[in-house]
Chain A
Amino acid sequence: MSICVGLLPSTSDRDRTSEFHAIADFLRKSQVLGEPTIDSVNRGAAELHGQTGTATHEPSRAACQSDFSKRASQISFSIHQTSQLLANLKKLAKRTSMFENPAVEIQQLTSVIKQDITALSAAISDLQVLGATQNERVKSSKHSAEHLTMIVDTLKNRLMTMTKDFKDILTFHTENLKVHENRRQIFSASSLKDKANPFARQQPLSTPDPGASANPIPSSSPAPWASHLMPASSQLFHSSLTHRRRSIPDEASMSGQMQQQTVQDTFVQNRVATLQNVESTILELSNLFVQLATMVAQQTDVAIRIDENMDDTLSNVEGAQGQLHKYLTSISSNRWLIIKIFIVLLVLLLIFIVFVA
């Protein structure tokens, strides 16, 4: 045995002494802090985060603590309000339609939020200073100091995430604006660069209205065949219609009929252009069909040749089958073969018994 000890695999174990000591230390400390019966660590742990453990210790510190916490809660409340504003802003920015672009509202909200954020960050740094001075003044325990820094950190974190959100929304919004701009260029300006577009040469057919670039409504009603180029545009077309329907009573009450009239005119003109487009596409298509028909006619020859080849193959296979059949009948009556197979089987069996088993 003693020889084997050296060769042993070292066995595994787990040392939980430190865990034990940690728990013991913790229990002891919480007992010192004036908790008479501690039966579970969970309660003790909760106490670590709550302020009861330190607050009951010293009244003066409690006052400072409460001042600190009041300010902290104020800051947190205003952060909450700002975040609500931010949500509003987000909702506005998400509106992709370019018609009722709430630019003014967005501007206002952005400035408000910006002010809020700067104010908040100032308040938080104030709070931090307050916490630090408090710590110095009232030689408070490590836990409470940790607690203060933790609160400040949380607030900072929240502010940080909020600022990040704000930035995201702004970038999203600018992106949105850029997309709108692009779209306007596609549908309003002469699109010479669109050579890849199969319908590009029909573009000159449509008469681009110089006023359309300024007016969002006609530019956003492209022909339906363009829908696969820009998936959003068909919805856009639809939404523009609904918008128009909705906006008629609105604008009738708000502004004069005149503007309404010009809008109607440009719209009709555009419809004419698109109809012309459709017509030309159909012509093109009919051309294609004629071409296809001639191609099919050319293929007939090849098809006939394939058919003949198939017939040949079939007859060959049948011949082969007949030959195989003949061979089968010839070997099925072969007595010698049967005997040979038996001999082979016997030899195999012998080998099996002698060597394998």
Chain B
Amino acid sequence: MVLVGAVRDYLNRMLTDIPGMKVLILDAQTVGIISVAMSQSELLQKEVFLVEKVDAQSKDAMGHLKAVTFLRPTAENIQHLKRHLTNPKFGEYHLFFSNILKKAYIQILADSDEHDLVQQVQEFFADYFAIDPFHFTLNLSGNHLCMLPTVADSHNSQQACDRMLDGIAAVFLSLKKRPVIRYQRSSEIAQRLAQDSAKLMYEQESGLFDFRRTEVAPLLLVIDRRDDPVTPLLNQWTYQAMVHELLGIQDNRVDLTRLPKVPKDLQEVVLSSHQDAFFKSNMFENFGDLGANIKKLVDEFQQKAQSNQNIQSLEDMVKFVENYPEYRKQHGNVSKHVTMMTELSRIVDERQLMAISQIEQELACTAGQAAAFEAVWTQLNNEKTSDIDRLRIVMLYALRYERESPQTVEQLITHLRSWPSKYKPGLVHTLLRQAGFDKRTGDLYGNRDLFNKARNMARGLKGVENVYTQHQPLLAQTIESIMRGRLRDIDYPFVGNHFQQGRPQDVVVFIVGGTTYEEARTVHLLNATQTGTRVILGGSVVQNSSSFLNDLEEVQRFQ
């Protein structure tokens, strides 16, 4: 409960210290930040009776309420606040900012505080979306900028970089740590981000980051999504990842409005690991086990429902009424998961994802060019295959056999053109240009050195448990080398002259260009087994295959 806990801790301190009725004023980003950490009812328990956007234009003054603002320290927000302060609607203002507040902004605020309404100004560093205990994201708009060189769109790229820097700084401030920083050498943006963070933490705000030193300094590793383009392209079969891949999760919410036959109260559901016990225990289970678990849940629920039905005495009635809210809650939970499950299996059937996923996993994990080509070719010719699946398997094939047999890659690309598709045909080439063999540092397919080859072979001999989840993201390898202290200094250099001695206790891996839930799962499993090291994963967004392809399309437009 590291990250979620930190954000909740901030919120608790923010809201419980101020007695009385409160109104919470937020901006577009902090709404998300708070909503992933705390539910509406919990806010209500803390006497927050109104949540308002900072740019909302309501007229009526409510002097009896105290305004608690939690905003990112941006110029727009300061302007909005200035408007609030010169023309106040609430009795008191308690200003909280989610990051380091510039001195000039304080002066503007002080200047506009004519009515003496500001009670306190605080920096509470909750500037990230803590979607899971060990997984945070920044919901960066314009994530494709991470793939473009800085010169292409320098203004927006600078903004994106600043946002990521803010996020990283906030994570370390809320963990009370100052890390040593490493980055992936081959990525320009990773290097820039790493150097910026080092400058912030060791020069500009070194006083703020001066915490009690631990024996081994924590590590911040900045890597690039493009080093592992395979993971976001694969179909996922574990619950959380699958929901994101097929339905899409935004701030731990799933939007089901587009789907047919969904009851009204389930049009938007929350999948949060700290609010939903069933989801927490099953978010990393694969699809098959999940089916069994949901069956069990439904059985349990049925039993309870039956026991509730036979009301004969007055005592029973009292019991029923007492248990009714609990019963309702469980009812909602069960129907939520069942709806989700039916929806998932419908999509799996419709798109024949079982067959496609098998091909994908084989492309990602086992070598064998001829067989793979055959499989991809037949799948392309299958009428029922959807356009996104076609594109994805061709991309995976291209990434894998780009060196070994470029002519078959070309052959597949031309064949792909003959099918109607909403995606532009040049995307495969764009992907190869962005994340081809020459651009990657890590050993994505385990075929770069002899040791990895032998290990792969041995794994092949042992056999795999589940064909659909045999793929291990590159991140697993990277984290393993960090834990053994074998991450190569040449590929992942340090920033400045701060070096790592020994095994770091805390590792924050930041992926520029977005994480995936598969990687979050890997990190979670690692944290569950390894007691010594704690890994936190973060990224600019959480990718699924369609968002990854959208980013690629944006990049293609620029070229």
Contact = CB atoms under 8 A, between A and B. Distances in A.
Interface residues of B, number: 40
A14 B455 contact: no
Nearest to A352: B454
A357 B454 CA distance: 8
Contacts of B457: 357
A10 interface: yes
Contacts of A356: 455, 458
7 contacts: A1-B5, A8-B1, A11-B174, A12-B173, A12-B174, A12-B176, A352-B454
A17 B121 contact: yes
Nearest to B172: A12
Contact of B6 (A8, A15, A39): A8
A320 interface: no
B320 interface: no
Contact of A27 (B2, B110, B455, B462): B110
Interface string A37-69: 011110000000000000000000000000000
A113 B274 CA distance: 82
* The 6 residue pairs across chains A and B that have the minimum distance between CB atoms: A357-B458, A23-B110, A24-B110, A4-B1, A17-B120, A20-B121
A19 interface: yes
B10 interface: yes
B166 interface: no
B122 interface: yes
Contacts of A15: 120-123
A12 B211 contact: yes
B90 interface: no
Interface centre among A7, A9, A27, A38 (most CB of B within 10 A): A9
A3 to B, nearest CB: 9
Nearest to A16: B121
B10 A11 contact: yes
B458 A353 contact: yes
Contact of B122 (A13, A27, A38, A353): A13
B153 to A, nearest CB: 33
Contacts of B347: none
Contacts of A103: none
B136 interface: no
B123 A13 contact: yes
B468 interface: no
Interface string A314-357: 00000000000000000000000000000000000000110011
Contacts of B211: 12
Nearest to B118: A20
A5 interface: yes
B341 interface: no
Contacts of A27: 110-111
Nearest to B455: A357
B106 A13 contact: no
Contact of B106 (A5, A20, A39): A20
Contacts of A8: 1, 5-6, 9
Interface centre among B4, B5, B100 (most CB of A within 10 A): B5
Nearest to B111: A27
